[in-house]
Amino acid sequence: MFFVVFLLIFGVTLVADSAYDRTVTVLDKTRDQEVQETFRTLIAAYTDEDARSFFDVVSEDRFEQDYITFSDAVYNDFRLYDIMQVDFWFEGIVPVNQVGRIVTVRWEERYESLESSEQFETRGLSRFTFDEIDGKFYLIRIEGNNLFGISSAEWGEEVPPVAGQEAKTSGGGLLADIRPVNARCEYRSPDNALVFNIENIGVGTADGQVDYKVTTLDTGNSAIPVTKTGLTQVYLSPGETSGEIVHINSGCNTQLTDVDLLLQPRFLDSNSANNSVSFSN
């Protein structure tokens, strides 16, 4: 009798453990499915340019990056572009902090400039972290290639890289009608440097390097023409000034009165003829 009771108790225990395992498995699968649906909602709201629905699944309180920079970038996308299509493929979902999920997605995006009607295509691999709050998933972190906020270089700098993401290429953006502005000699700076800002006066986005060349003209004062080349990193949004100052040791002095500045982008430029300026000191 004791042996039979022991078997019954032992059997119940086995069944309970097995049922618990199945329950846990079902719950985990449900969370994976729910976070996939949340991501689909995010993509649908982005392509529909529905800011309210988009930010309904983004946690302002728990967002680990700069929420204001991110939200401004997304609103700027809707103002500047027609988000035509985003295709995506889930490459992995892993748990984080028990109930949260990290979703890895490979994607392709097509969008069109509302000003120039020029179309762009980008692709990437990104990692999205979601936290579960009161039974609902919210986006709290983005890594890898930049899918949202494509119009903002400032937001792009907030997004850390991940292994396997698409490399940036020279054809990845359009740098349209750039020009140096506020060119001047700074006599108090080291070597009396020639300095200037870079401004994007056209439509497009940019994330890359630009060659610059400075040629002093014959001023009639026996000034020796000087050519200086180099590289500067520029991050420009459409129609915005980069704010970056380029310092060039061009030998600014009282004899230097006329200067040609030439900017030569290392990737697509809609009008390279605009990438030069002359100024008098």
Q: Span 49-53, mean pLDDT?
A: 96
SS3 string, 215-227, reads: EECCCCCCCCCCE
Rounded CA-CA distance 241/145 in Å is 24
The alpha carbon of residue 93 and the mean position of all alpha carbons in its chain are separated, in whole angstroms, by 22
Structure tokens belonging to residue 216: 């002093």
Closest CA to 150 of 262, 38, 75: 75
Say whether pLDDT at 172 is over 80: no
Q: So what's the pLDDT on residue 239?
A: 67
Q: What is the pLDDT of residue 22?
A: 43
Count CA atoms closer than 13 A to 213's CA, side-chain side: 10
Q: Which of the four pLDDT bands, split at 50, 70 and 90, describes residue 94?
A: very high
Mean pLDDT, residues 194-221 taken together:
67
Which of 9-18, 51-60, 200-209 has maximum average pLDDT? 51-60
Beta strands in the chain (DSSP E): 81-96, 100-113, 119-133, 136-144, 178-185, 194-200, 206-216, 227-236, 241-248, 258-265, 276-280
Question: What share of the chain has pLDDT > 90, as a percent?
Answer: 34
Domain ranges in the chain are: 25-156, 178-280
Predicted confidence at residue 191, as pLDDT, reads 66
User: How many Cβ atoms sit within 10 Å of the Cβ of residue 85?
Assistant: 11
pLDDT-above-70 percentage for the chain: 64
Q: Give the model's pLDDT for residue 68.
A: 94
Residue 185 has φ and ψ, to the nearest 5°, of: -95, 135
pLDDT tens for each residue of 152-167: 877 888 898 888 888 6
Tens of pLDDT along 219-274?
Answer: 554 455 556 666 666 666 666 777 778 777 766 665 556 667 777 766 566 666 67
What pLDDT score was predicted for residue 177? 73
**Hey, what are 140's tokens?**
């709290």
Minimum mean pLDDT range among 23-27, 119-123, 146-150: 23-27
- The identity of residue 92, as a single letter, is G
pLDDT reported for residue 18: 43
User: Which segment of 81-90, 114-123, 185-194, 229-238 scores lowest on mean pLDDT?
Assistant: 229-238
CATH class of the structural domain 25-156: alpha beta
pLDDT value of position 108? 94
**Fold classification of 178-280 (topology level):** Immunoglobulin-like (2.60.40)
User: In the predicted model, what is the mean pLDDT of residues 212-225?
Assistant: 59
User: What is the rounded distance in angstroms from the CA atom of residue 218 to the CA atom of residue 215?
Assistant: 10
pLDDT at 74: 95
Q: Does position 199 have pLDDT exceeding 50, yes or no? A: yes
- What's the token pair of residue 44? 């649908």
Please tell me the predicted confidence (pLDDT) of residue 39: 98
Which H helix or E strand runs over 34? helix 2-47
For residue 78, name the pLDDT band (cuts at 50, 70, 90). Answer: very high
pLDDT at residue number 256: 57
- Give the mean model confidence (pLDDT) for residues 3-29: 45
Question: In sequence order, what are the residues at sequence separation of 6 or more whose Cβ sits closer than 8 angstroms to the Cβ of residue 174?
Answer: 118, 120, 203, 204, 205, 206, 268, 269, 270
Please name the residues in contact with 65: beta carbons below 8 A apart, sequence gap of 6 or more: 141, 142, 158, 159
Q: State the pLDDT at residue 113.
A: 83
**Whole-prediction pTM value?**
0.56
247/68: higher pLDDT? 68
